[in-house]
Amino acid sequence: MKTIMNRLTAKNILMLVISFVCMFFLTTASPFYEFNRSVDANTMYTVGKGLLHGLLPYKDLFDNRGPLIYLIHSVNAVFSYHSFTFIYVIESLLLFLDIAYINRILSMKLSARTAMFCSLLFIPLAFTSRIFYYGDLPEEYAMTFVLILIYSCIQYNWFEMPRRYYIVNGCFVAILFWIKYSLVIPWIVFFVYIGIACLLTKRFKQLFMIILDALIGFLSVTLPIIILYWSTGALKFLFNDYFYLNLTHYHVQNASLAYTLFKMEYPTFGFSHHLVIIRTIYYLMIALFICAVVRYMRETNMHDSNKVLLVLIVFIDILATYEVGGASFSYYLFACEPFLLFYLFELGLVVDKYLYNKKYIIWGLSVIALLGIFVTNRNYRTSMYVTKPSHSYQYEYSKIINKSKDKSLLNYRFLDVGLYTYTGTYAKDRFFIRNNISYKKMDESQREYLHSMKYKFVVAKYRKGWKLFKKDREFLAKHYKRLRHMRFDYKDHSQGWIDLYVRK
């Protein structure tokens, strides 16, 4: 308790308040938004609600994320069955840790005011709409943990790092492994490097203690999950759905190395015009990043072996993240955004050089940096305080469904659009949505659900070049009546239409 009170400095309290205020507008999980438009967030929440009703992920409700992310959303459902308020609190606390650790790292070489300015500038730079989307990303946990890992590598030589850091990093690996296993790349680099270094320097006893401490941290999170799934007879579903299907059926994993390198060398960033200018800026930013990393390594007082370790973590993580999904979906790269601190360090050196004694200018720049969230992130435009409710299909469709005593709903052949959330219902069939895994059993089961006619409401999506199969359209026309026809527009999906049907 005394340690906590000592940490409650004016600076930390200010950063905490700023984190909650900024995240209030950045993530659509916050109370500022009546509806969370993220299909991934709604999917995780629907599975999380199922846990409260004894339905286990994979065995009873199918999705391809890690079990721990569903548990977090299950806790959210305990507090609110119709909103994401607990998730908003978690995201705000993670943002606080992000800027707190960036501030710690930058304060080692920059003045206090400049370090604070750069820490606050990190928010609009990292949480852009193009990468952060609607929020509630598994990558948010990775961002915080990577920053703590970087801090520990800077603060301590690898052979002098306190044992508790290895235990904590073991916990971080386990948490991320059971949220989204592709996020553990930095720790693979970290532990492999430490292991090789111990062997080369003949620190065999220290290597044994490091492995022991890391295992203690990893197993403290992993064992309860394994025991839960083993005791309920669902262990095979966990390994089949979370590991095997992700590795063999998830389309992002099918990107070849050649495709990844092509996307890295010739990115479009979603634009079709002015590509010469965009790519020129892109190459300049890569060059500046490399220079910033080199500059930081020269300025810092780290042991040379730690510098090598940190460089390996940075560049291997970026390349590997591109390979596992970043080449296809930009939000994968959110986990790499802790490395923006090297840009910020370079900027901080310039600010300290020319504005060191001009505190009011630095404070003014800090305020402008915070206001930058409304420039780089446009989620606030989807709030009901900005957009008319009638423009939201979640609002219109949930209003119709909530008037009925029978709220049974089939989310047919596409991702969860949030109607389970805003009708206060939960999914009871295993394949309650059609997610991004190419899995024949899922398609067949969804069609069986539709043709059983046990659902009063069916919601279906289509767009140009993609629509329901002919037999499904004929079945809906015969047995269901189309009530509403509205547009949808996601950051991560094409524009199209969503139809609501009711059983005749």
Give 25-67 pLDDT, tens digit per residue: 999 999 999 888 888 999 999 999 999 999 999 999 999 999 9
CA atoms within 13 A on the CB side of 148: 20
Check pLDDT > 60 for residue 491. no
Check pLDDT > 90 for residue 413. no
Phi, psi at residue 250, to the nearest 5°?
-75, 125
Residue from 348, 392, 356 nearest 484 by CA: 392
Check pLDDT > 60 for residue 160. yes
Mean pLDDT of 229-239: 94
Check pLDDT > 60 for residue 327. no
Check pLDDT > 90 for residue 322. no
Residue with tokens 């090297």: 342
- Residue 116, helix vs strand vs coil: helix
The H-or-E segment that residue 460 falls in is strand 457-462
Q: Report which of residues 159 and 455 the model is more confident about.
A: 455
pLDDT tens digits, 272-311: 455 667 677 778 888 899 999 999 999 888 888 999 999 9
Q: Report which of residues 258 and 12 the model is more confident about.
A: 12
Residue from 321, 322, 318 nearest 260 by CA: 322
Residue with tokens 């950051």: 491
Mean pLDDT of 461-471: 79
Q: Torsion angle of alpha carbons 487, 490, 494, 498, nearest 10°?
A: -30
* Inter-helix orientation angle 85-107/340-355, to 10°: 50
- Residue 495, helix vs strand vs coil: coil
Distance CA 396, CA 43 (A): 20
The reported pLDDT for the residue numbered 262 is: 55
Mean pLDDT of 429-439: 88
Q: Are 169 and 192 in contact (CB under 8 A)?
A: no
Please report which confidence band the pLDDT of residue 172 belongs to, taking 50, 70 and 90 as the band edges: very high
The reported pLDDT for the residue numbered 415 is: 86
Distance CA 320, CA 140 (A): 18
Among 19-28, 155-164, 233-242, where is mean pLDDT lowest? 155-164
The H-or-E segment that residue 486 falls in is strand 480-488
The H-or-E segment that residue 169 falls in is helix 163-177
The reported pLDDT for the residue numbered 4 is: 55
* Inter-helix orientation angle 340-355/112-126, to 10°: 140
Whole-number average pLDDT of the chain: 88
The reported pLDDT for the residue numbered 257 is: 54
Residue with tokens 């292991």: 195
Q: For the chain, what is the radius of gyration of the CA atoms?
A: 24
Q: Provide, rounded to the nearest whole percent, the portion of the chain with pLDDT above 90.
A: 65
Distance CA 378, CA 380 (A): 5
The reported pLDDT for the residue numbered 3 is: 58
User: Which residues are within 8 A (CB) of 11 and not within 5 positions of it... i.e. 6 or more apart?
Assistant: 103, 116
The reported pLDDT for the residue numbered 345 is: 96
Query: Cα dihedral sign for 300, 302, 304, 305?
Result: negative
The reported pLDDT for the residue numbered 259 is: 54
The reported pLDDT for the residue numbered 239 is: 94
Check pLDDT > 70 for residue 264. no
The reported pLDDT for the residue numbered 5 is: 56
Q: Are 427 and 61 in contact (CB under 8 A)?
A: yes
Q: Report which of residues 368 and 467 the model is more confident about.
A: 368
The reported pLDDT for the residue numbered 437 is: 83
The reported pLDDT for the residue numbered 286 is: 86
Residue with tokens 């603060």: 155
Mean pLDDT of 470-495: 81
Q: Which long-range contacts (CB under 8 A, 24 or more apart) does 112-116 make?
A: 113/359, 113/362, 113/363, 114/348, 114/351, 114/352, 114/355, 114/356, 114/362, 115/348, 116/11, 116/366
Check pLDDT > 80 for residue 8. no
Mean pLDDT of 383-410: 84
Full 3-state SS string of 246-302: HHHHEHHHHCCHHHHHHHHHCCCCCCCCCHHHHHHHHHHHHHHHHHHHHHHHHHCCC
The reported pLDDT for the residue numbered 280 is: 77
Q: What is the DSSP letter of 324?
A: I
Give per-residue burial for 113-149: e unless 16+ CB within 10 Å, then b: bbbbbbbbbbbbbbbbeebbbbbbbbbbbbbbbbbbb
Distance CA 275, CA 354 (A): 35
Please report which confidence band the pLDDT of residue 420 belongs to, taking 50, 70 and 90 as the band edges: very high
Check pLDDT > 70 for residue 463. yes
pLDDT tens digits, 78-128: 988 888 999 999 999 999 999 999 999 999 999 999 999 999 999 999 999
- Residue 463, helix vs strand vs coil: strand
